[in-house]
Structure 1
Amino acid sequence: MADGLSDDVKRRGGWLPSEQDDLESWLEGRTRRIEERAEAAALHPVIVEFRELIDTDPVVRMYMTRMIEEVPRSKPYGKRHLESVDQLLRLINDVLTLAPEFSEGSMITTPLAGILDWTMGTTAGFAAYRDPRINTMLKKVLDAWHQFLTSRDSLYVLNESESGWKSPQAQQVVGMTQYEHDPDDRYWGFTSWNDFFTRRFKPDARPVASPYDDSIIVSACESTPYKISLDVARRSRFWVKAQPYSLEDMLANDESVDQFVGGTVYQAFLSALNYHRWHSPVAGTVVRAFVQPGTYFSEADAEGRDAVEAMNSQAYLAHVATRAIILIRADNPVIGLMAVVPVGMVEVSTCVIDTKVVPGYHLEKGEELGCFQFGGSTECLVFRPGVIDEFAAAAIPQSDVPHPSAVRVRSKLATARTAHSPGEGKVG
């Protein structure tokens, strides 16, 4: 197994600020805002429903209360910002009409995770975010936020101010010249924040590597390598410290699981500024494609204090979080059946599979499969035993690089073996 991301990259990935002080400053500002608006701010119907659940279900109320009380034991915070369940609900209520703003050093791209961050690594929080009642309610909250982020009201952050996505600094950091947009339109031709978030590259920005060579497997996403695991088991204790992959859990007990036992899993994560669409790593035919419901803010308690950082729970999340599962039978018989598993992290409440990606549809290598919407994310590629000859150097997690680069989508990720290459999974 190769797993060599720096602690800083694992910790944030660009979704929350790298410095704790920046997150605390943001939270202090949000707290001050809800206190000033306490009388005037109406609660969204979904927050009213959440409050009613807490008031009427004693177990839910216990979890929600205790995870706030336990916060100081999990992380050395400079100041306590969460004091009560009511305050937590009002902070979430405030976010439901908030779109992420740009900030190169202290960006809060996932504001709900920013609010819940402190609770996610507590003993009560581990239980709360796995509880079906709370998880169902969080899904409703995320759906409500989704309604705002897909509305024109969310376009206010596409402006030229210092915190706007049209500012010169933001355009440079995002690399906006690579993306399709209308420079003459007030909002670049986008219809909502989410439309901007899922922006497309220009046709020539990410060419497909070796389009006619079926032995070359390309990157499904614009993502930074996290882990490569060989000889993966059918069932493992994915919730322990090492977070080994458990195929039957990752693939939601799909009938294909036995074909992948002993094979290879490649995982990589997407940062806040990455391209958020998925593409087929191979030319082949869709066998099955579905979205598996799961958790949203659950984290691996085996990580101890480090569990408060979602980036440290990525392998665990591949088994329990909401995710798309796309099975493709490659034209190259050596590759055969493979799986693409885009996984939603924290705020992601929607993994959208393209409507054309249905059983029997033939995909060209690099063809679009779907996209993540408005939040943090990671992705896994699953291969049968004996498929991979070697991974490209860029696809191998680097232990000696503090800020490794993302592997470009549709660039070379790995080479499949041939009849004359008996080995598998060389990673260096």
Structure 2
Amino acid sequence: MNNDAQTIAVQASRRGRWLPVREEALVAFRRNLAEKAKKRAPGARLTPPVQDLATLVNTDPVLRMYLTQAIEQAIAAGYDLGYHTIDELMVLIDELMTYAPPFDTTELVGCPLNALLDWPMCMPAGFPLFRFPQLNGQLKAVLEYWCEFLSGAGSRTYLTKDDAGGWFSQKADAYIHIADYVHDETQPYYGFASWNAFFTRVFKKGVRPVDGPGDDTVIVSACEATPYNIQNNVQLTDRFWMKAQPYSLLDIFTSEHRALAEQFVGGDIYQAFLSAYNYHRWHAPVTGTIVTTYNLDGTYYSDLEAEGLDPGGPNDSQGYISQVATRAVIVIACDDKNIGTVACVFVGMAEISSCKIGVSAGQRVTKGDEIGYFQYGGSTHCLIFEPGVIRSWVPKPPFDFNTPPIQLNKQIATANR
């Protein structure tokens, strides 16, 4: 692959600006983290979940084999990881347990653990490694521990106006437009109690008006998100692991919810992903009654072999991870019987995997009402429609990394009457 083609591939894979496009920036991040780790006191203990992760990997021969091979394969391919062994990796992961992301226009490392695993996860040994349930279970514990830090006062280091990484600096405001959100400039940290409180900030009333209020045929965007894919005639089961990443309804909803999956056979799926700088709450795309909600555990760093080197983690595998990653499902029975049932699936990618459902079965929602959020993160989401419902789409594929995001509550589709 020539340099121009490689740059385009990396840009595509690092959609949403969760990781820098420039590999040099990630190398610098990993090296700096390694230098910081060297200053730890001799014999310093790992935090409990990281120690449990280290114990799991080092005592399970298959996990140890795959992770060792993945690290060695990445190094042999010429990548500077900042570590050479499992034990060195664990120390770096431990350093991330008190990491608060600084703002940066080009070199933002919004997914620091993804930055460490960036290349091993898409090596031949890395593909099977990150599908093991026991490994994902322990990674979940590590991410939950880090999330506790991000939900505490100690995570507000960069909630300042400081030009060096401050999220309220003039440079940052060109991206996040803090005036659109509820905040208090007279208070320290603009009134945000933690990084996660800032990350899940709420729009001021009227900032994102709902298109077509009272018109059920106008279906709106559930997130502030960039279109990724539209697929028609979706099947109950399909080979989602292939290059084209066709959606497989039974795998998205799981076999326990087969009857639900069968409702959408022959229907349409719209998928879009969230940016590091955008709003991270979910809203109802239609008016109706909540039928069911549930969370599903899954993978965190699983990539699709067919995508080859995915330098942004699971970004180019978004169709694939909709079937295997940690996700939340919210199903709405629309008031308009011609629309029927709409399923909203919110999918975590890498460390952006805390899916918080804010509604329950039997609850009424009006188009544009909040229904949940990603805590520290964004990732991707799917809206799934029954066959014959969608007449036309506003966003037109094919989509690429230059496709602009669609604002929350803006029309994405027109339903048949």
TM-score by length of 2: 0.94
- 1:107-122 map, 5 Å: 107-122=108-123
The answer to whether 1:55 aligns with 2:68 is: no
Any stretches of 5+ residues in structure 2 without a counterpart?
A: 1-7
Please give the root-mean-square deviation of Cα atoms over the aligned residues, in Å. 1.6
Shift of 1:330: 0.6
Return the match for 2:184 from 178, 182, 185.
182
Instruction: Give SS of 1:71's match.
Output: helix
Cα distance in 2 for partners of 1:242, 1:346 equals 21
- 1:252 corresponds to 2:251: no
Query: Would the alpha carbon gap of residues 402 and 348 (structure 1) be closer, same or farther in structure 2, given more than 3 Å must change?
Result: closer
Q: Aligned partners of 1:308, 1:402: CA distance in 2, in Å?
A: 12
The answer to whether structure 1 residue 348 and structure 2 residue 355 are counterparts is: no
1:66 aligned residue (44, 65, 69): 69
Mark the CA change 1:375 to 1:338 in structure 2 (over 3 Å): closer, same or farther.
same
Partner Cα separation in structure 2 for residue 222 and residue 200 of structure 1: 12
**2:295 aligned residue:** 291
In the alignment, what sits opposite 1:405? 404
Stretch of structure 1 that moved more, 238-247 or 298-307: 298-307
Query: Given the alignment of the two structures, is residue 136 of structure 1 paired with residue 140 of structure 2, yes or no?
Result: no
Q: 1:17 to 1:308 in 2, by over 3 A?
A: closer
Give 1:396's aligned residue. 396
Matched, 1:27 2:16: no
Q: 1:14 to 1:158 in 2, by over 3 A?
A: same
Residues 140-182 of structure 1: per-residue CA shift (max 9 Å, x gap): 1011101101111101121222211121111222111111101
Give the whole-Å Cα distance in 2 for the aligned partners of 1:218 and 1:363. Answer: 14
Give the 5 Å matches for 1:137-286.
Answer: 137-161=138-162, 162-253=164-255, 254=257, 255-286=259-290
CA distance in 2 between counterparts of 1:54 and 1:236 reads: 32
Share of identical aligned residues, percent?
43
Whole-Å separation in 1 of the counterparts to 2:398 and 2:353:
30
Per-residue deviation at 1:369? Answer: 0.6
| Separation (CA, whole Å) in 2 of partners of 1:241 and 1:73 | 26
Question: What is residue 123 of structure 1 aligned with on the other side?
Answer: 124
* 1:39–1:397 distance in 2 versus 1, CA, 3 Å: farther
The offset of 1:292, in angstroms, is 1.1
Further displaced range: 137-146 or 247-256: 247-256
> Structure 1's 82 and 45: CA in aligned 2 closer, same or farther, altered over 3 A?
same
Does the CA contact (< 8 Å) of 2:73 and 2:123 recur in 1? yes
Distance apart, 1:309 and its partner CA: 3.7
Deviation at 1:38, TM superposition (A): 5.2
Please report how far the alpha carbon of residue 194 of structure 1 lies from its aligned counterpart in structure 2 after TM superposition: 0.6
Contact in 2 for aligned 1:261/1:385 (Cα 8 Å): yes
Amino acid of the structure 2 residue aligned with 1:322? T
Structure 2 counterparts to residues 363-378 of structure 1, below 5 A: 363-378=365-380
| Greater alpha carbon shift after TM alignment, 333-342 vs 37-46 | 37-46
- Matched AA of 1:396: K
TM-score of the superposed pair, with normalisation by structure 1? 0.92
Change (3 A) 1:54 1:38: farther
For 2:21 and 2:312, locate their aligned partners in 1 and report how far apart those are by CA, in whole Å.
13
Q: CA deviation at 1:299?
A: 1.0
SS of the equivalent of 2:190 reads: coil
Alpha-carbon separation, structure 1, partners of 2:12 and 2:143: 26
Deviations 1:203-230 (A, max 9, x none): 1110011111111000000000000000
Q: CA deviation at 1:308?
A: 5.8
| CA distance in 2: counterparts of 1:178 and 1:396, whole angstroms | 28
Does the aligned pair in 1 maintain the 2:160–2:169 contact within 8 Å? yes
Post-superposition offset of 1:115: 0.7
Aligned equivalent of 1:415: 414
Report the CA distance shift for 1:306/1:53 in structure 2 as closer, same or farther (over 3 A).
Answer: closer
User: Which runs of structure 2 are paired with 1:324-335 in the superposition (5 Å)?
Assistant: 324-335=328-339
CA change 1:98–1:307 in 2 (3 A) is closer
For residues 335 and 224 of structure 2, the distance between their equivalents in structure 1, rounded to whole angstroms, comes to 23
Q: Report the Cα offset of residue 43 of structure 1.
A: 1.4
Cα 1:137–1:218 shift into 2, 3 Å: same
Deviation at 1:40, TM superposition (A): 7.0
SS in 2 for 1:339: strand
CA deviations on 1:279-321 (whole Å, 9 max, x unpaired) are: 0000001000111111111111121223764210000010000
8 Å contact kept, 1:342–1:351 = yes
Q: Distance in 2 between matches of 1:230 and 1:286?
A: 24
Is the contact made by 1:398 and 1:404 (CA closer than 8 Å) also made in structure 2? no
Give 3-state SS (helix, strand or coil) of 2:191's partner. coil
- Which one-letter code corresponds to 2:305 in the other structure? D
CA distance in 1, matches of 2:97, 2:43: 16
| Cα distance change, pair 241–195 in 1 and its aligned pair in 2 (3 A) | same
| Residues 55 and 61 in structure 1, CA contact (< 8 A), matched pair in contact too | yes
Shift of 1:101: 0.7
SS at match of 1:342: strand
Alignment gaps of 5+ in structure 1: 1-5, 419-428
Aligned counterpart, 1:3: none
The Cα offsets for residues 41-65 of structure 1, whole Å up to 9 and x where unpaired, read as 4411112222222232222211221
Q: Is the 8 A contact 1:338 1:381 kept in 2?
A: yes
Contact 2:210/2:220 (8 A) holds in 1: yes
